[in-house]
Amino acid sequence: MSQGAAGGSRAVARCDLLARPPYSSAADMLFRAYLTPAHAAALETIAVWMREAGMTVHIDAAANLIGRYDGIDPAAPALLIGSHVDSVRDGGAYDGPLGVMLGIEAVAALAAAGRRLPFAIEVIAFGDEEGSRFPAAMLTSRAVAGTLERMPFDMADADGVTLGAALGLFSLRGHGGMRGAARPAGSTIAYLEAHIEQGPVLEAEGRAVGTVTGIAAQHRYQVVVEGLAGHAGTASMPLRRDALAAAAEMVLAVERVARAAASDLVATVGKLEVAPGAPNVIPGRVAFTIDVRAGEADRRDAAAAAILGDIRAIADRRGVELTSTLIHDLPAAPSDPMLMDLLDEATEAAGQPVRRLVSGAGHDAMIMASLCPTVMLFLRCAGGISHNPAERVDPADAEIVLAVMLGFIDRLGERFA
């Protein structure tokens, strides 16, 4: 099925629009956090675009926006196409929203051609993937997949606003909790997510698109180093228990273990807090995070164990106290083999070479894998840059991705005919 010039280019332009107020909480950068006025404004506008594409629209109990395009049988289960619309602070315009916009364009193309599939298509705009407001990520896809272990209503943001209060402001607190967003068994046949690569592989190889084989397993730790604060001018070097000096050595140990693996294993210290934070005081306490990822859980676990062993040895040698807490444990999420094959066929039909690659970044697809078969399509982004206002996408590449998505939908329809 062909698609006119409006599709992919329009998807990119709509992402550009959503990067500005009122869809951002800040005038000088993009920041759209879950359950904020900027989030509400974005949902209102995206809902208009969904209706224009031929969908019926509703917001579920977790504040996910869902547009539905019925199949030949209105009671048919749905193919879900989606991504997230929240952002990190000072983020890029396309990380997340582009997948939603391309889903809308795919439905618009079908509706314009008067076509219905054996299944319904639902485009879902997840509200919280980044975890940029509350201290947990992917809350809303967990709600849809039915994997929220409890209702985290007492979880608070940096301003002390609880999740329960924020849902109340969105008029959602009375829905029986976010679990009301869980999809019934048998209602979903598959989940497709188109996303910018957030890495340099496709651009380096001159490719517009790639099929994602799976999402890397992830461990994230909160580490606290307790030393002894003291006067910077009077405490002699041999007697110091400098928490920051110890943490600095630990950060290098994290990097050393990951580099030695010489594989897709990566490890990152992305946040570090020093107390008391005065120029004339030896730091007495440092808190930092460690993020460890690999395509296979065994390699992730081995690296994490090596890192924890090394930093404990550093703490012992330097006479500081160390505590480490596992705060995220996300398993590897392999894509469905049949869905990958259909994406590859659609890629070839669109005149593009087939490329399969693993995703080091986490995505809603890894949560949705507990509900239904999943697959992802990566789109080239300039320089591999993401989580940064310099994030860029070529509209011509978005046109290619849209053609691949439509080819995938056609082929999936043939399987269910």
Residue 218's Cβ-side half-sphere holds a number of Cα atoms within 13 Å equal to 20
The amino acid at residue 319 is G
298 labelled ligand-binding = no
Closest CA to 164 of 35, 56, 41: 35
84 labelled ligand-binding = yes
231 labelled ligand-binding = no
130 labelled ligand-binding = yes
The amino acid at residue 265 is L
DSSP string, 369-391: TTTS-EEEEEE--GGG--SSTT-
Q: Which residues, in sequence order, are CB contacts of 374 under 8 Å at separation 6+?
A: 190, 191, 192, 193, 333, 335, 336, 339, 365, 366, 368
Question: Rounded to whole angstroms, how far apart are CA atoms 170 and 389?
Answer: 28
Q: Which residues, in sequence order, are CB contacts of 27 under 8 Å at separation 6+?
A: 21
Question: Rounded to whole angstroms, how far apart are CA atoms 384 and 296?
Answer: 23
| Kind and range of the H or E run holding 167 | helix 163-169
Question: Rounded to whole angstroms, how far apart are CA atoms 136 and 328?
Answer: 9
Question: Rounded to whole angstroms, how far apart are CA atoms 161 and 36?
Answer: 11
Helix 337-349 vs helix 395-416: angle between axes, to the nearest 10 degrees? 120
387 labelled ligand-binding = yes
Count the neighbouring beta carbons within 10 Å of the beta carbon of residue 156: 17
293 labelled ligand-binding = yes
220 labelled ligand-binding = yes
- Binding region for Zn(2+): 84, 95, 130, 195, 387
Extract the annotated binding site for allantoate.
Answer: 220, 280, 293
**Residues annotated within a binding site:** 84, 95, 130, 195, 220, 280, 293, 387
